[in-house]
Structure 1
């Protein structure tokens, strides 16, 4: 291994996980976190895509109950999906290490919101670490493992788009720990969270957090850089690098652990400078906590809560400049690929004047020109529930125009329960669910999912059939159709289903144009592997 490597933050986390002997990495692809598990797999780590983030966290939690080290990755909105097990996992704790990466997206480069997931650590009662660059992402991962194993808690590892994707030199440790063998020890009182067990578990959690806060007072990951006492900056994550360039003479307290906070260390630092400003990206999480503790600090003006920080914006914060910021240059709007198989579907939706409850994926671009054929887009899987709600609420002549549009990966992620709702509580006018199946998780870079029949490394596995699942759930009308090959036929089919007072699912299936060649290659390799396995089995008989 070379002394230094040029790595992104995502790649640095993957290298750290590999070197730390993580036995299992699992997650759901979502920018800016996707490359972590892909890089971990390429290094030789055991990595797998889960159907959604909740399942990924539960799998990682089970592995950590089994005394091994586990990594779970997702983008920030994915933690919303995984929040249910996350909060209770703080009570149960873990036996091995469990590191949960939340990759936030300030500025919404590829997201529907810019929530600040440091708040999840506070709400759930979990330690939160935040690296500033790739080297620190590598180093702090080992700290996360240490904290998790020492206090038997999951650790939230918060990254942001800039840290995930920016590359810098990383000096790895140069040695790898072998993944530990798993073992299970029964602990019913500690892991079965019925109320009689959960009440004392909550008290144990708060005691652990108090211990971590005391440890954080002297921990080297929270460090003071004493310079000019006229100005002190308290900062975390990538904002530290911006602050260091924007105000090079200022004293700085750089936080690596952002929850629980080392309040006494912060109090002493604030008292040591004439003016103390908190420079943080996203919500004023640290500033609010310090002011609630009676520590005199300035928070950034509200206008800097939105989008990413950079050196120029930090200079404005320090200068208390609240004048209007220059408008960013206009970029080229995104659009569907010219040969995208979704074009025919959106042309028909637009022509038939459908009310489209949409979802998250490449097909979200159908909301833009030239189609403008998507009316709602809320969250993964919401197309079905929102579409059903519209069907229930609207007068019949409008209700019959409502279509739920969802992609194949998103359907597996969180659309199945929506389809169960459609079967269980069908609207009087029926409903049409259009699954745009391009054979991949296209938006995040052509990753696999249970409906592709291939694992994270593209090896063949069991394949979930969307149409057979719909039939098994009791959908009376299920059709698979290639809209790209027969646009006119698809339009007729869609019009027919809209007029029918029953629930119907249309699977518009054609491979993503960007992934089609690779899909053919992987399918051929899979067929050859299965043939070889069959020959070997026959020879053994």
Structure 2
């Protein structure tokens, strides 16, 4: 049976067919849909949203030690969070096969950097597999588990946004009957004390030599001889782009098993072509190793290091060829991303934007959009959890310099569970003069409404213990934890002022559900402008709601977008905004 599948769907299917028993992840684009599709196979695969990527990796590692084939999935920056256990597990080796899916994001479509995680495989000394389409996502994953168990190694399964989200035909197979291996207590293997780790490192180096021999014979690496004037070495989506540009006018060494690289195969291929090119996205990972082996090739001299590749970029870089294009005489209005109409975060950021002596350290989530105009109510955004921790550092710098500006650290509810709790503890423990704020919209919003420890349901749809953000903050030492509806601007302003004046640990939890959560009650009457009362002051535009704009010189609210949150109504000083029907 064949099916049109995205790469993420195919990875989920590959996990099913490979006999995977346990899967864990933290949602992050472009990897999120892997676990969302694995729950289709919940009769034979246990799956969970972990609080963060480190926990997800450790759950999957534990399952592997326990004898199950396991999978952990995350976006590229999530691997930074999971790196600690991953590096050590590469030393220890597996029991049941273990695969870590790293979904990289060239061009940073939804990420704060475009790091190339292929270097993680080399750095951690673990084997790496790279598919180039959906069929390979499924098939290569199955091979990855065989390699993992045969060579006693974790596998880094590296994909990118285009692989994750593009769709192609996949031929489905049956699930392998893979029994969970017996667990045998083995302290020298699984206890990473220094004495054991020294011996493990020696085993790892021996394993890498064996893996390179496998790489030279692996079915995941193949030579395609056509015209030998040009030879191209490539992997992942870059291989597809190269094929589209050159077709049969070039020969290819298509790499799917990319650490260790098959140096014998590469040398053989290089000797059979006249000019050798390495085409890869982002860093010169393959190119560097080929040149270090003394093999002449052309790579980043012509292929850009920044952003995604495409056939046009490759054709221009190597062939000097440009494609014909037509320019349409159409003025496109810039549409930067904004908080949704009725977003509960808008009231908080509007309140924070009104005074300029507040520093707001932000975090990763849809609320990062609070940094955009017209709100401009966020000063920093670094990584998950830094909304609290970086704010702590800024507040300490202010203490030293005598600067009086108050620091507010902002994280979402899912981010609080991910890595905000430790930052919140740091603030209390080290007497930080700052206010942590948890924007609780009752869901993991930015990645598409996944459950988290505060929603009361698991990935598999089961009811579970709902972790209370307020009670956690109280338990770690906050004397006052103020819960406020962020769309009540008066209450929000009073809470912020109270927090600024507090002399004991004070935290804020804004609590209002995301308007897009399924099953919520229908919104109240929508807001509407009485255009006779409108004084054209434009105060309503300062809240940054896309439903509110000027039309024919006066304020106007688009009814198809309005959800009746009343933020604009509270801002208007002339009572020009009211409710429909009132």
TM over 0.5: yes
Cα deviations across residues 157-215 of structure 1 (Å, max 9, x unaligned)? 00000000001100012x11245235310110111111111011001011111101011
Cα deviations across residues 221-255 of structure 1 (Å, max 9, x unaligned)? 11011111111110000111100011111111000
Instruction: Note if contact 1:70-1:97 (Cα within 8 Å) is conserved in structure 2.
Output: yes
Q: 1:504 to 1:81 in 2, by over 3 A?
A: same
Q: 1:316 deviation in Å?
A: 2.0
Q: 1:226 to 1:414 in 2, by over 3 A?
A: same
Structure 1: state its 5+ residue gaps: 521-541
Instruction: Note if contact 1:53-1:74 (Cα within 8 Å) is conserved in structure 2.
Output: yes
Instruction: Note if contact 2:485-2:491 (Cα within 8 Å) is conserved in structure 1.
Output: no
Q: 1:303 deviation in Å?
A: 6.7
2:418 corresponds to which of 385, 400, 413: 413
Q: SS of the residue aligned with 2:228?
A: strand
Q: What is the aligned length?
A: 511
- Of 393-402 and 255-264, deviating more is 393-402
- Of 119-128 and 269-278, deviating more is 269-278
Distance 1:475 1:448 in 2: 26
Aligned to 1:364: 368
Q: 1:499 deviation in Å?
A: 2.2
Q: How does 1:271-310 map to 2 (within 5 A)?
A: 271-301=271-301, 304-310=304-310
Distance 2:485 2:27 in 1: 26
Q: 1:319 deviation in Å?
A: 2.8
Q: SS of the residue aligned with 2:519?
A: helix
Q: 1:462 deviation in Å?
A: 0.8
Aligned to 1:73: 73
Say if 2:449 is the partner of 1:446: yes
Q: 1:501 deviation in Å?
A: 2.9
Distance 1:300 1:350 in 2: 44
Q: 1:83 deviation in Å?
A: 0.2
Distance 1:502 1:319 in 2: 67
Instruction: Note if contact 1:400-1:499 (Cα within 8 Å) is conserved in structure 2.
Output: no
Structure with bigger helix share is 1
Aligned to 1:481: 484
Q: 1:517 deviation in Å?
A: 2.2
Q: SS of the residue aligned with 1:229?
A: coil
Distance 1:473 1:30 in 2: 28
Structure 1 stretches of 4+ moved >3 Å: 395-400
Distance 2:218 2:24 in 1: 30
1:382 corresponds to which of 370, 373, 386: 386
Root-mean-square deviation over aligned CA pairs: 2.0
Bigger-Rg structure (1/2): 2
Aligned to 2:409: 404
Cα deviations across residues 322-367 of structure 1 (Å, max 9, x unaligned)? 9xxx99x986211100110011000011012221100000000111
- What is the TM-score normalised by the length of structure 1? 0.91
Aligned to 2:574: none
Structure 2: state its 5+ residue gaps: 523-582
Distance 2:320 2:67 in 1: 50
Q: 1:269 deviation in Å?
A: 0.9
Aligned to 2:26: 28
Instruction: Note if contact 2:106-2:307 (Cα within 8 Å) is conserved in structure 1.
Output: yes
Say if 2:458 is the partner of 1:460: no
Distance 1:21 1:215 in 2: 23
Instruction: Note if contact 2:218-2:257 (Cα within 8 Å) is conserved in structure 1.
Output: no
Distance 2:470 2:106 in 1: 37
Q: 1:480 deviation in Å?
A: 1.2
Q: 1:330 to 1:114 in 2, by over 3 A?
A: farther
Instruction: Note if contact 1:233-1:253 (Cα within 8 Å) is conserved in structure 2.
Output: yes
Instruction: Note if contact 1:436-1:507 (Cα within 8 Å) is conserved in structure 2.
Output: yes
Distance 2:140 2:370 in 1: 40
Q: SS of the residue aligned with 2:507?
A: strand
Say if 2:8 is the partner of 1:10: yes
Distance 1:196 1:245 in 2: 52
Q: SS of the residue aligned with 1:25?
A: strand
